[in-house]
Every structure is written in structure tokens, then in C-alpha cells.
Structure 1
Amino acid sequence: MIYQRDFEHRVRVGVVGVGQHAYRNILPALNFLPAELVAVADVNSELAERTSRQFGSTHAYGSAAEMYANEELDAVLLCVSPQLHPQLAVEAFGAGLHVWMEKPAAATVADVDMMIAARGDRIATVGYKKAFMPATLKVAELIDLGELGKVRTVLGVYPMSIPHAGRTYIDSKETTMWLANGCHPLSVLLSIAGPARSVTVHRGADDSGILLLRHTNGIVSNLHLAQGVSLSQPFERYIVFGDDRTAEIENSRKVTFQRGIPFGPNTTSFAPPGIDTGAVTWEAQDGLNTFENKSEFTQGLVGGLEYFFSCVLAGEAPEKVNLDFARQLAQIHEAAILSDSDAVDLETMS
């Protein structure tokens, strides 16, 4: 890890929206990234001025369009509501800027399509940070190395409810927990199991229940909607089931690779000789004031932003968390609302 001041080449960036999230997470994260903060914009111009001074940018604006017109920027970070992303992103693409936006990309598939149509050759990624969690990357590595054999199913557990409504409700673009945070577990499932082809939701009381994804490669993943679980306790878990082996992510900070032990009717020890069987665990430790245990790293926030800036500097189109990935998440968001114990085929959705 190196710091902003140490990078030889940096992206000239503006930030749109300096509310609590940007102030608490995004702006401080720039300390670790190849970015030069040039200007900020917010409809609260006084807040923009104060934030600009604190974080060392030279100008503050009351609108994104004004900032685009007056500054020499390479890229913009959109830290506003998903309902505002399409217009702001289209404006930014028109100004020749690369765009990173917070999750989710938009409230509807149609809005994501609007951005895709305007993107041109510009680089655009979305802050689906959990795709960049070290824990997610470790499990993906185990799969790529063949350590799990054939992956068959994936289980996710996340406190969430999914409204059961129709197209009119979707088009209202109401911000719900399903829109705002449902993309977190979905981005992990898609990163591990690949693109999905259908969505089925079975609801219980209070719209909790399960969401079933059938992936194009034959894997089935299940998101258990653990509605009601307190957010003040560990509440998030993912398990990948392969051939005689599993990999589990607990609370973003712990990965356990279960390799099993030699087992039979005459097995007498759960800890047989050697180190080639049993479990391997990687876990964030809080004994030292270092990066690997801080939430901006364990949650993948810095990793996702670093990926965006590296694509911009290299002039390479992003393969991860791009607008096409965002479109699939938007499809799943809509299909889950429409499903009532029936499968919704994503390929046939309008």
C-alpha cells in the first residue's frame, strides 16, 4: 500500500455529493489512491465549500454541471442517490469524463440502459464494494485454483426483505433496503457463481424468505433473507459448496476453507497427522493499527476505487463491476420484486 502523495501519476477527479457517506468513507479513502481531488460539488454550496477546504481541493460548486464546465477533470465520483445517477452520469460522459458511482447504479434497468447508451468509450464502474472484499477475492481464488473442485451451490445470509409488487412500484423508483443494500449480497453471489439466468423468490412472514438464483453455468445460489436479525451482531455469511470441500465467509472478515479429514468407519481422530487436511482460516486481526483490519479495506471500498483508478490510468475497459454487471443486478432487483414463488427469466425481461 502506498499513499496518494507517493503516486507518480494521479487521476484528476471531482466529487459530486459530499454528504455523510462521502465525508465518512469516500473522501478519506482517496488518501490511499492515485487521485488528485480537484473540486467538489453539492446542492448545499456552503457544505461543499467547507468540505472542499478540509480535503484540500481548490474549488467548490453548487452543481455538477458547473463543475464539469469549469474544471479540467479526468473523472468524477458520484456519491448521491441512485435516482440521480443516470442524469449526472450522462452529463459526465458528455463532458468526456470517466465515472465511478456509488451503489446501486440506478433504480431501474431502464436507467442503467440510459447510462450504457451514453457511455461511449468512457470508463464506468459502480461501488459494489463487496466484489472486492479480500474475503470474496480469496474464495474466488480458491475456485480458480480448483481447490473446491466443482462448485455446486452457494448460500448467502443477509438481513433483507423483498417487497412483493408490480411494475408500477418498480417504476416509482422508491428507495428500499432491497434497492439500497440488496446489491451487497448479490454482488458477492455473482462474483463467486457468475452471471444469473433466472430469479425465484419464496416469501414468508414480513416479506422475508429466500431468493434463488440459477446461474448460467449450472450453479444454484440461495440468498436467505434473514429479516429481523440485529445489525449490531454478525449477520452476514456466505458458503460455497464444492466437491467434499467448502469455503465460508463470515462477517466479511473471516474466510474458512474446509478440506475435510480422512474419514471412515474406523476413524479415531478428528485431527489426523500432517497439515494437508482440516481447515485453513484467514481472519482480520485487530492487534495492530494497520490497513488489513480496517473496514474500508475488509469491506472492499478501497479495492473497488483502486480498480476504477487503475482502469482509468491504463485506459482499459473494466471487466468487473461495470455497467453491464450493474444491469444484471438491476434485473435481479426487478425480477425479485415481481416473483411470487415463480421463476423470472432474466433473458426475457424487457
Structure 2
Amino acid sequence: MTVTYQFEYSERLRCAFIGAGGHSYRNVYPTFQYAPVELVAVCDVQLERAQTYARGFGAPSAYDDHHEMLARERPDAVFIVTSYTAEGDVQATALAEDCLRAGAHVWMEKPTAAGIAQLDRLQAVADETGLTVMTGLKKIFTPAMEKVKAILSTPEFGTASSISVRYPQSLPAPDARSDDVAMIGFLDHIFHPGAILTYLMGPVRRIGYEWEPRTGSSVSSLLFESGAVGTLHLAAGSATGAPLERVEVIGSGANVVVDNGVRMTYYRAGAESPYGRSASFITGDDVAPLHWEPEFSLGQLYNKNLFYLGYVPEVVHFCESVLAGKPPEKGTLADVREILKLYELYRRLPAGEPATIEPRS
């Protein structure tokens, strides 16, 4: 991937931004250096923060009322990075509807909505206006996950038969799962492993899990529409300083592993080590494992978390899709629907009881 800097694009989107929080300051606004974006306005409920962000990121205008901003600026697209209501609802869902009705495409940070009912309302507005809504599913835009996806499509890897995903997240106790506020943390983070599972393996059609009450950790068994199987280990209680996640996909005599999002090993098919007769663990060069990881020494863009965490790629994909007049390939509302199906099942499904997920549920 060769990067184009913002000033090198011949055509840019006039974009507004709703939200002036810490996450957006660190991880979203800075991506505009590498995307076809002309930032025209920033909006936040705290006008002073909006003004500070507007100055810092080169926007000429700041607002504390998004309706006023949309009416005055008429942006091509709006980026939304906000929080939750006091009741535990996702603020960005209604904001996205307002932006669509004002004629602007929408990029919004996950979670897109607090449930499928809210997602349905957003989908209806998107369908009515014919405009794009894309969610920031950063995990499936990382260089590592895109490479895994490419490997899975090769004849040498074979059909993916199973997957294991480990991610540190606690699932609240059963009596708290009907409380939207208590479920904020789980909703916020299930989007990450959920996006990886569905991106690499397709929709989940059956799920069952066991739950540990002290930390809230859980292990789920999954059956995918393809017939493949998998596990999702939500490893609450793991050390804060430990590598955050691990993904492994098994094919036909081959497997690929990604540790911590930046260390990737592809164990290729074809190596032979006859049991009891092999004197060396070294395999032939043509079938030896392939390993990738960034070097973190040079001032290269791939060493920036904005790139290896997927932030720049997802923003560029949104902008280029809108400019080309075509829907995004990833981060769609259809992708979000599959993740929210998992979320709603965890809310209502007791441990130890499997459930089937219908294709259109």
C-alpha cells in the first residue's frame, strides 16, 4: 500500500466532524493527513472544545449545534465519534440519521447502534436517502487481517475449517445484561472480535458459551454458515501488559496466526517430518513458515498505530468509496448487523445453552 498525502489528492470531500473527545483526537482526526478530506467544521456540545479542535486540525468553523452546522456547511460527509447517553444508548445513531437527512454521507465510530432495532431505523434512513453509512471496524482494515483474508482465499491454504479468537473482555453477570448502561463496555468491545470473526469466516449460525463469574470471562463455541467452526475466548482477567489478542485460522494442512495485531506467521502446507525419522526441524524453503512484523525503528508510516491499527485504511476506504459513488466493501451496515446479532444473543442467552442465529434475524 503506497500512501497518498491529503494535499496530493486532486479531489477531496468537504467533511464535518461531530465529536471532540480523546479517542477522536488521538486516532481519527490525524488520519485526515492521509485521506481526501477537507475539514470544514467541527461540532461538539462544548463549543470551546470544538473551537480548539477546529484550530488544531485546520477547520475554519466550530459549532455546538449539529443541526446548525449541517444547515450552514452542507458537508459532503460527516465523521461522528461520540459517546453514550445517560440511559446507555449510542449517541451516534440518531446523529447519523440527522446527517443523512441533511444530505451527508456518514462515517461513524463503532458501536453503530445499541441493538438491531436501532440499526433498522438507521438502515431505513440510509435506504431512503441513498447515502453511505460506514462504521469504523478498524480490525478488518489492519494490514495483518487483510493479509490473513488474502491467504484464506488461496488454493494452497485450502478451505478454512476453524478459527480461534482471543480478546480480553468481560461479560456482565446475567442479571445485569438487560441493563443498557451495564452493557456499555461489552457493546463497545464485542465489535472488535465480532468483526474479525465475520470478516474472515462469514456469518455465525450457532453459538453456545460458558461463563466464569469471578472475572466475567467466557469461551464460546461457534458454527459458521460455511460449516467451519470456531471459538471466541473473551479473556477477562488477563494481564494489562500482556499482548491484547490472538487470532488463528486453520485451513488444509496450513494455518495462519496473528499475535497482538502486528506479529503474523503463516505455516504453509507441504512440510513433511516423518515421525521417528526426522533429524531436523528445518523444513524446505518452499514450504517454510512465513513471518511478518514491523521493525518499529524507521520513521515509516507502517510503524504508526494509525496504520497498523487500521484507522487510516478505514477512513481512506470510506472517502474513496464516496468519491467513486460506490458502497464500501467493509464496515457496512450489513457487517454491523451480524455483530449485533451476537451481542443480542449474549444479552439473553444463558450459559450452557446453544442458540441458532437465523440469516435474517
Q: Shorter-chain TM-score category?
A: over 0.9
Contact 1:45 1:61 (8 Å CA) reproduced:
yes
Contact 2:83 2:92 (8 Å CA) reproduced:
yes
Is there any run of 5+ residues in structure 1 with no aligned partner, and where? none
Contact 1:108 1:170 (8 Å CA) reproduced:
no
Give the aligned length. Answer: 348
Structure-2 residue corresponding to 1:29: 31
2: CA distance, partners of 1:247 / 1:76? 37
Question: Which amino acid in 2 is paired with 1:210?
Answer: V
Tell me which of 297, 302, 318 is aligned to 1:292. Answer: 302
1: CA distance, partners of 2:242 / 2:177? 32
1: CA distance, partners of 2:181 / 2:336? 16
Moved more, 195-204 or 55-64: 195-204
Contact 2:173 2:213 (8 Å CA) reproduced:
no
Question: Which amino acid in 1 is paired with 2:237?
Answer: G
- 1:177 is displaced (CA, Å) by 2.5
- 1:124 is displaced (CA, Å) by 0.9
Q: Does 1:304 align with 2:314?
A: yes
Structure-2 residue corresponding to 1:198: 206
Deviations 1:226-262 (A, max 9, x none): 1111232212100001111110001010110012621
Question: Which amino acid in 1 is paired with 2:356?
Answer: D
2: CA distance, partners of 1:209 / 1:172? 20
Q: Secondary structure at the match of 1:177?
A: helix
Q: Secondary structure at the match of 1:93?
A: helix
1:55-134 to structure 2, matched below 5 A, reads: 55-81=57-83, 83-120=90-127, 121-134=130-143
Deviations 1:130-150 (A, max 9, x none): 011110001100011123212
2: CA distance, partners of 1:328 / 1:39? 33
TM-score using structure 2 length: 0.92
TM-score using structure 1 length: 0.95
Is there any run of 5+ residues in structure 2 with no aligned partner, and where? 85-89
2: CA distance, partners of 1:319 / 1:348? 19
Q: Does 1:268 align with 2:279?
A: yes
- 1:345 is displaced (CA, Å) by 2.1
Question: Which amino acid in 2 is paired with 1:107?
Answer: A
Question: Which amino acid in 1 is paired with 2:49?
Answer: L
* Residues 203 and 174 of structure 1, relative CA distance in 2, 3 Å threshold: closer
| Percent of aligned positions that are identical | 33
2: CA distance, partners of 1:147 / 1:231? 37
2: CA distance, partners of 1:169 / 1:263? 50
1:101-250 to structure 2, matched below 5 A, reads: 101-120=108-127, 121-165=130-174, 169-170=177-178, 172=180, 174-206=182-214, 207-250=216-259
Moved more, 221-230 or 10-19: 221-230
2: CA distance, partners of 1:164 / 1:37? 43
2: CA distance, partners of 1:301 / 1:6? 19
Deviations 1:120-178 (A, max 9, x none): 21011101100111100011000111232121110011111222437x94463545321
Q: Secondary structure at the match of 2:232?
A: strand
1:327-342 to structure 2, matched below 5 A, reads: 327-339=337-349, 340-342=351-353
Question: Which amino acid in 1 is paired with 2:355?
Answer: V
Question: Which amino acid in 1 is paired with 2:61?
Answer: H
2: CA distance, partners of 1:226 / 1:179? 16
Structure-1 residue corresponding to 2:87: none
Contact 2:74 2:102 (8 Å CA) reproduced:
no
- 1:38 is displaced (CA, Å) by 0.5
2: CA distance, partners of 1:169 / 1:280? 43
- 1:284 is displaced (CA, Å) by 1.2
- 1:182 is displaced (CA, Å) by 1.6
Tell me which of 234, 239, 259 is aligned to 2:268. Answer: 259
Question: Which amino acid in 1 is paired with 2:204?
Answer: A
Question: Which amino acid in 1 is paired with 2:207?
Answer: V
2: CA distance, partners of 1:59 / 1:195? 43
